[in-house]
Structure 1
Amino acid sequence: MARVVLLGLDGATFTLLDPLLQEHRLPNLARLMQEGVRGPLRSTIHPLTPAAWTSAVTGVNPGKHGIYDFRRRRPGSYALDLVNARLRDAEPLWTLLSKQGRRVGVFNVPMTYPPDAVNGFVVSGMDAPGVESSFISPASLRPLLLAAVPDYQIDLDEGTEDEEVYLSRVEALAEVQQQALDTLLSRHPDLDFLMAVFVATDRLYHAFWHYLDPASPAYDHEHAAVARSVHERLLCRIDDTIGRLQTWAGDDATFLVISDHGFGPLEKDVYMNRFLLDIGLLRFRSQPGYDSVPFAEAVDWQSTRAYSFGFFGNIYLNLRGREPQGCVEQGREAEALMQQIIAALQDLRDPETGTRMVDNVYRREQLYSGPHVGEAPDLLVVMRDYAYMTRDGYEGVHGNLVGKPMSLSRHRLVHTGNHRLDGIMIMAGPGIRAGGYITDATLTDIAPTVLYALGVPIPNIMDGRVLRQAFSDEHLAAHPVRHLAGPLPPLQSPAQRQLAEMSQRVAALESRVKQLEESNQQAAARIRELEAVIADRNKQIEGVVQMLHYREEMLDRYQRTIFFRAYQRWQRLRGRVLTDKE
């Protein structure tokens, strides 16, 4: 049976790949392109890791799977909670394939903690708390992996201002993750589907884009050599991994290399709450700060009509009936307020350059569909092709509308690169056109395309489509796309599945305890029966012993009687003999 290998390069972009390809530095990646297709891969809006990777592996938009950002509003509160796979409300590729009896391996994919129980293994990615957590399924695989790769890291420790230290950490991360993947594949040679994500590219691009992209406004040629050298080694290491995976998977395997988003320069930080403050829609009771008063505690909510939090540009209305202290009526008042905000955003200009700051403002219903649309921001703001951005944690801490990119911590490098909508997709394998270029591919197309390559029917719930333009007409005719008839069975979240599994285990234990109790009762009854038998046997033995004693006594008496009679007879005979002699 054919295999599919889905390799993720977080944040990869043809902007940086193509120069290395032209220099023949990436032969395995180049061969995939020659034998298959390549093209841009459109990310989610916003092109954020949690939403993007989750959309890729489920084939549905965030309105269906429910994950938009790294944090989300806690229902009924202004407080924020971290997001992980417990909140994913759509089934990923690996559980769908497991139900089909396929063997799967999942390595370091973001938003996979806690790991799903699958027919194979899952090693959780960046949302896992650490290597001390239960980040691997099955749990028995964790000590084996950590014994083989004792320095294994889930993600990069960014706590440094030293560029050389940071670069060495990026390379160390890539090395241990490659070792871990090699270890896993040596123990699981029979996988039908493998997905692995390398995040070192994204971590490098965020901090060193001004050294890597000559077109960046902040490009620093004088100090670029070290970072560019690390980048080349990193991509060459990944290319070597692709070569080993090709050997492992065999000639009939299908390969997909994708990124969750692209990359480009980060020019400005935007303080969206300063904008809302300036137009009279936000009020503070006290000045918020990253290390002082939390944003939610500093806001005068009863006088606030709109607020922002999260990455890239999100605006929420303070709706009555949704927010705890909402003051905006849903319906006409909310609609008028959104129109006011959109108009003000479209007129927004950079105070330093005079250029427009906003490319588009989307209502959430324009982008998403499904049961979780209500959890999305009311308005999503795309600023200057994401060269301008808001960043989670900056809410209200700056006095100006825009400023140079800054760091939340004195012990962290300032970011000079940011995500872009177009990532990469490279695909090669049986039935795929050679040397082709595809357009209009989106992240939600990845899951149905993988299922198609494996011959598995595609659930109707998926928003994505099979990338037919990547396949030859002959292949499509011989292998028509199949869809699942009818709705999918109700899906449980990982937390619900874990609870169900625990309930099953508890029920099994209770059943076992009941069986043991019944066995104990049966054993006790048998013991009583045996005790009665033993008591009866003891009585019989006592009777036999008494009889033996009696017989011994009678024998003794009989022996004494015989002896006495013999003695008497001997005395009589002796008397006669003596008489005869006289």
Structure 2
Amino acid sequence: MTPAKPRPKKALVAFVLLALLLAGGLVCFRGVELYRDVFQSSLVQKRVLPPLRAVCSAVERALQRRGDPAERAARLYRDLPIPECLQHPAAAGANSCRLFLLCLDGASWEDVDTFGPLPNFERLRREGVWTRHDSTLLPISSCAWNAIDTGYLPEQTGVLGFQRPAAGWPPRWETISARDFATKTLAQRLDEKGEMVFTVNLLNSYPEQVERGVLIGGWWTDPKGVFTMPPELSEALRRRGYTPLLDWQPRLRLLGLVWALWIGVAVILLRLGWRKRRIEAAVVIIALGGLLLLFSMAYWKSNRELRSPAYRLETLLESQFYPSEQIVLRMFEQPGWRFGAVHLHEIDTLNHHRYREEEARRGCYRETDRFLGALLDRADERTLVAVVSDHGGAYYPKVLDLPAWLYAEGYLTDDPAASQAIAFHEASANVGAIRLKEPSLAEEIKERLERLTDPITGKTMVTRVVLRSELHPGPAREEMPDLVVETEPEYMVQAYERGYWQKKFRRFKSP
């Protein structure tokens, strides 16, 4: 008589299932904290992530489309229909001057010198004029680019970020568009004079308030709807795979492949063990599903730890750089425009997510230099090509946690509605912003911040604190933060993202 095979006890199976359910609940309830505690630990960083990076890179290389992406973009956009308004000579005559802006987000002359030789940037400096300039007081892209496009400061344009503050306390924010600008852009002024313009990927540019010309919207426009002017150009671009947003498909492809493998394993286990070992098969399937869920969380949320392919140089160039280049070159060759501009975000994206990977950043600058050379070669004696940036990029080894400092000083409490001050990530890098419930506290907080020192080195951390009353007069000055804090170059200001002040406040602890 064959002895019966021992089966796992039901209590053990129930315990395993309960543990998995609790783990799933923990993931859902404390996803961000779990991600920080687990996936950023030294053990995971040294032992787990390196093989995962290798697997991700190998799979993504296998999923990459064949052929040179630059040549493929050139073939796709070679027959892009050009609106008739750009094909006819400009109204001001054949001898009228033209201006084209090459807007490089996050670029700087320091990087140009570091990643050189870049012959076309050097040609631009040698044959033209160049200088270094400061960014806006709030050195965030939307503020700076709108200041460049209008010639006015944020307190005059009303563009204080990618959102604008609404009335009430605690502060709330609303998404902005081109209709919310308090001042006219250069494109609008030229449009009023009957001139033709074309812009590609400019931030917050849609819907542009112009009646003629060509506009291709940038980020925060609907890629499935109308994002161009004239409207029929949207469908022509969509047929060629163009999108105004960053292409996240590589992430989705890899996650889809992983979960497809899990489904395949689940089917095999069920077919092999459904009759005799159905409980064991179910436990294995659920356990693998839990592990894949954790992996998916890490892969989706992490850009630096797992080296997400959405931020690889090749993906950035293929998704938007090469298509934008071909679109601009097609329109640049037309005789009917007086002003043109394109916004390229690839340098800034690498600054945010891969700043310490110099080869990737060097490759991006070289591609940008090649594009600049193509523009300079096509420019005639009446066409002025200008390169401009909104801010640079840097690595910050230290952090100043403004919300934690406000909490330690008693200005911030666990209840934001009862707090006297809230710090938000309204600026960037080494600049932070504080909004007050009582503006009379501004001078007091300014004095305390200016005396703030590093607990390790004893050096002053804050370079300057600008009060709202010290800003230029303008229709949007009252919407500006009560205080703008600028730190020394080695300190990055950390604050809460807009709308996420409900997060649990961290205590300010000295090392």
TM-score bracket, shorter-length normalisation: 0.5 to 0.7
| Residue 107 (1) aligns with residue 107 (2) | no
1:246 aligns with 2:376: yes
Q: Contact between 2:309 and 2:315, CA under 8 Å: does it hold in 1? A: no
Which structure would you say has the larger Rg? 1
Letter in 2 for 1:203: T
The counterpart of 1:8, out of the listed 79, 98, 103, is 103
1:200 aligns with 2:312: no
Question: AA paired with 2:207?
Answer: P
Q: How far apart are residue 274 of structure 1 and its match?
A: 2.0
C-alpha offsets along residues 357-377 of structure 1, whole Å, 9 cap, x if unaligned? 211000123233211100001
Q: Which of 163, 178, 183 lines up with 2:327 in the alignment?
A: 183
- Equivalent pair of 1:4/1:253 in contact (CA under 8 Å): yes
Distance 1:151 1:173, change over 3 A: farther
Q: Distance in 2 between matches of 1:352 and 1:83?
A: 41
Alpha-carbon distance change, 173 to 353 in structure 1, aligned in 2, over 3 angstroms: same
Structure 1 residue identity aligned to 2:194:
G
Amino acid at match of 1:236: R
Question: Given the alignment of the two structures, is residue 137 of structure 1 paired with residue 281 of structure 2, yes or no?
Answer: no
Change (3 A) 1:371 1:386: farther
1:105–1:122: 8 Å Cα contact kept in structure 2?
yes
Deviation, 1:110, is 1.3
2:153 aligned residue (45, 56, 61): 61
Distance 1:11 1:402, change over 3 A: farther
Q: Summarize the alignment of residues 110-129 of structure 1 with structure 2, pairs less than 5 Å apart.
A: 110-128=203-221
- Go from structure 1 to structure 2 and tell me whether the alpha carbon gap of 1:51 and 1:168 turns closer, same or farther (over 3 Å shift): closer
User: 1:152, 1:98 → 2: CA distance?
Assistant: 26
Give the drift of 1:228.
2.5
Q: Match of 1:84, as an amino acid?
A: S
2:475 to 365, 371, 374: 371
Distance in 2, matches of 1:116 and 1:185, equals 24
Distance 1:386 1:69 in 2: 24
1:524 alignment partner in structure 2: none
**Residues 163 and 243 of structure 1: is their aligned pair in 2 closer, same or farther, counting only changes over 3 Å?**
farther
The aligned counterpart of 2:389 is 259
Secondary structure of 2:107's counterpart equals coil
What is the DSSP-based 3-state SS (H/G/I as helix, E as strand, rest coil) of the residue aligned with 1:307?
strand
Aligned-pair distance for 1:133? 3.5
- 1:173 corresponds in structure 2 to 316
Question: 1:231 deviation in Å?
Answer: 1.9
Question: Residue 152 of structure 2: SS of its match in structure 1?
Answer: coil
Does structure 1 retain, via aligned residues, the 8 Å contact 2:423–2:495?
Answer: no
1:348 equivalent in alignment to 2:452: yes
Q: Read off the aligned partner of 2:321 and give its amino acid letter.
A: Q
Change (3 A) 1:116 1:147: farther
CA deviation after TM superposition for structure 1 residue 165, in Å:
3.6
1:31 aligned partner: 123
- Provide structure 2 residue ranges, at least 5 long, that are not aligned to the other structure: 1-95, 249-299
Return the alpha-carbon distance in structure 1 between the equivalents of residues 125 and 310 of structure 2: 29
Q: Which amino acid aligns with 2:243?
A: Y
Question: 2: distance between equivalents of 1:387 and 1:126?
Answer: 29
Partners of 1:39 and 1:134 in 2: how far apart?
38
- Give the CA deviation at 1:309: 1.7
Could you say what secondary structure the match of 1:110 adopts?
A: coil
Partner of 1:361: 465
The equivalent of 2:173 in structure 1 is 80
- Give me the whole-angstrom Cα distance separating, in 1, the residues matched to 2:391 and 2:471: 17
**1:276: how far off?**
1.8
C-alpha deviation, 1:168, in angstroms: 5.6
Once residues 142 and 307 of structure 2 are traced to their aligned partners in structure 1, the CA distance between those partners, rounded to angstroms, is: 29
Distance in 2 between residues matched to 1:349 and 1:133, nearest whole Å: 51
Cα deviation, 1:41-61, whole Å, max 9, x if unaligned, reads: 211012111110010100011
Q: Which residue of 2 aligns with 1:315?
A: 434
Q: Structure 1 counterpart of 2:197, which letter? A: V
**Contact (CA 8 Å) 1:4, 1:254: kept in 2 or not?**
yes
d(CA) in 2 for partners of 1:84 and 1:365?
Answer: 27
SS at 1:263's partner residue?
coil
Q: Which of these residues, 71, 79, 88, is aligned with residue 163 of structure 2? A: 71
Q: Is the 8 A contact 2:201 2:217 kept in 1?
A: yes
Q: Do the aligned residues in 1 keep the contact of 2:452 with 2:460 (CA within 8 Å)?
A: yes
Whichever residue aligns with residue 8 of structure 1, its letter is C
Give the TM-score normalised by structure 1.
Answer: 0.56
Task: Give 1:10 deviation, angstroms.
Answer: 0.5
Q: Where do 5+ consecutive residues of structure 1 fail to align?
A: 212-226, 286-298, 319-327, 329-333, 405-582
RMSD: 2.5
Instruction: Report the equivalent of 1:507.
Output: none
Q: Confirm whether residue 388 of structure 1 aligns to residue 481 of structure 2.
A: no
Q: Deviations over 1:199-234 (max 9, x none)?
A: 00001011222x2xxxxxxxxxxxxxxx32322221
* SS, match of residue 455 in structure 2: coil
Equivalent position of 1:278 in the other structure: 408
CA shift for structure 1 position 29:
1.5
Q: Distance in 1 between matches of 2:173 and 2:162?
A: 10
Deviation at 1:113, TM superposition (A): 2.8
2 CA distance for matches of 1:313 and 1:51?
14
- Matched residue SS, 1:40: coil
Q: CA deviation at 1:186?
A: 2.2
Q: CA deviation at 1:107?
A: 0.9
* Equivalent residue for 1:19, pick from 74, 93, 114: 114
Q: Which deviations, in whole Å up to 9, do the C-alpha atoms of 1:97-140 show, x marking residues without a partner?
A: 11222211111111213333342111122232x41243212211
CA gap of 1:352–1:127, structure 2 versus 1, over 3 A, is farther
Q: Mapping of 1:92-103 within 5 angstroms?
A: 92-103=185-196
**Change in 2 beyond 3 A, CA 1:281/1:20:** closer
State the 1:94 CA deviation: 0.8
* 2:161 aligned partner, one-letter code: D
Correspondence 1:43 to 2:135: yes
- Matches of 1:118 and 1:181, distance apart in 2: 25
- Aligned pairs (5 A) from 1:453-472: none
Q: 1:350 to 1:82 in 2, by over 3 A?
A: farther
Q: Equivalent residue for 1:214?
A: none
Alignment TM-score, normalising by the size of structure 2: 0.64
> Aligned partners of 1:266, 1:122: CA distance in 2, in Å?
37
Q: Distance in 2 between matches of 1:239 and 1:402?
A: 46
CA displacement, residues 134-160 of structure 1 (integer Å, 9 cap, x when unaligned): 321221111112223x15353365854
What is the SS of the residue equivalent to 1:106? Answer: strand
8 Å CA contact retained: 2:97, 2:383: yes
